[in-house]
Amino acid sequence: MQQLNAVAVQQQERSNYSALSQPPYLHLAELSATQFIEIWNHFDTDGNGYIEGKELENFFRELEIARRGAGDPSNSNFREKMKEFMQKFDKNADGRIEMSELAQILPTEENFLLCFREFVGSSSEFMAAWRRYDTDRSGYIEANELKGFLSDLLKKANRHYDDQKLHEYTQTILKMFDLNGDGKLGLSEMARLLPVQENFLLKFQGIKLTSEQFNAIFTFYDKDGNGYIDEQELEALLRDLYEKNKKEVDTKNLTGYKKSIMALSDGGKLYRSELEIVLCREPIL
């Protein structure tokens, strides 16, 4: 109870601070990663990972003022501008702004999200990168593995950095995408770096399996009990999952999902622990 009260007090203080202080840095032509996070914390007053409702209205008003626009939310033109703004930047049309969407709105100096999308252009490339950097096969990208990933990413993008900047980028990515605050990124958290249309994991929302369900279905398709399934068996498994959850099977999309998941495989052999990362809420460690 004391812990809950402390959290409530912290959120209230954060809300009061945000309401009283001026929104930081929106007038700048270029933001550092740290400044970007400060802007996010200023407007996401309830800390739920989205700028929405009144927060969103406040953000857009202050952004308009910073850009010398009209900042009166009662103005009909303001509402129309805000609607156009959301149509442009709210990629998944859920009526709120995620941190990755905000990164496309603000002129971030070291926008490693954009670097990431140059480096990893599709979900299958993303899965291959995940396999490469999850070096201990834990089902998570820990801080040291994330640092290696970002180092390679920045080298590929020809971006200069030093150890201090690399540490800052690593911590910023964790703050942006580590939803449960455990200091590491699960596959679904890391996949939020992908453009919405490429994030195939979003298509599996609502059909995540428990460990027991997963073990039963994997055993069914692993007929010889050798601990892995192949590409054809994976397709049959995915089709069954869709049918059981009354979801329409799009052959073209299914082929893409299958290709993405097989990027985790070892020479065409998809082992239990690898598929489990995709289909279960949490991998069994």
Do 6 and 101 reside in the same domain of the chain? yes
Q: Could you report the per-residue pLDDT of 180-215, keeping only the tens digit for each? A: 788 888 887 777 666 655 666 666 655 667 788 888
Whether pLDDT at 55 is above 90:
yes
Q: Given CA atoms 248, 253, 255, 258 in this order, what sign does their dihedral have?
A: negative
Which ranges constitute the DSSP H helices of the chain?
A: 2-20, 33-43, 54-66, 76-89, 99-105, 112-119, 123-133, 143-156, 163-177, 187-190, 211-221, 231-244, 251-262, 272-279
Of the candidates 149, 164, 196, which is a domain's last residue?
Answer: 196
| C-alpha closest to that of 171 among 34, 50, 40 | 34
Q: What range does the domain containing 100 cover? A: 2-105
Do 21 and 116 reside in the same domain of the chain? no
In a domain, 92, yes or no: yes
In a domain, 96, yes or no: yes
What is the percent of the chain where pLDDT is above 70?
73
DSSP β-bridge partners for residue 186: 140
| C-alpha closest to that of 228 among 285, 259, 268 | 268
In a domain, 61, yes or no: yes
Whether pLDDT at 56 is above 90:
yes
Give me the CATH number covering residue 273. Answer: 1.10.238.10
Of the candidates 57, 82, 105, which is a domain's last residue?
Answer: 105
Q: Could you report the per-residue pLDDT of 76-107, keeping only the tens digit for each? A: 688 888 999 999 988 878 899 987 788 778 87
Per the structure, the count of domains in the chain is 3
CA 50 to chain centroid, in Å, comes to: 12
Do 131 and 152 reside in the same domain of the chain? yes
Q: Which residue has the higher pLDDT, 142 or 179?
A: 142
In a domain, 101, yes or no: yes
Arithmetic mean of pLDDT over the chain: 76
Q: Could you report the per-residue pLDDT of 236-272, keeping only the tens digit for each? A: 888 887 777 666 666 777 788 888 888 888 888 898 8
Which pLDDT does position 10 carry in this prediction?
42
Of the candidates 55, 72, 105, which is a domain's last residue?
Answer: 105
Do 185 and 231 reside in the same domain of the chain? no
Distances (CA, A) of 85 to 81, 82, 88, 125, 195: 6, 5, 5, 30, 18
Which pLDDT does position 14 carry in this prediction?
44
What is the percent of the chain where pLDDT is above 90?
5
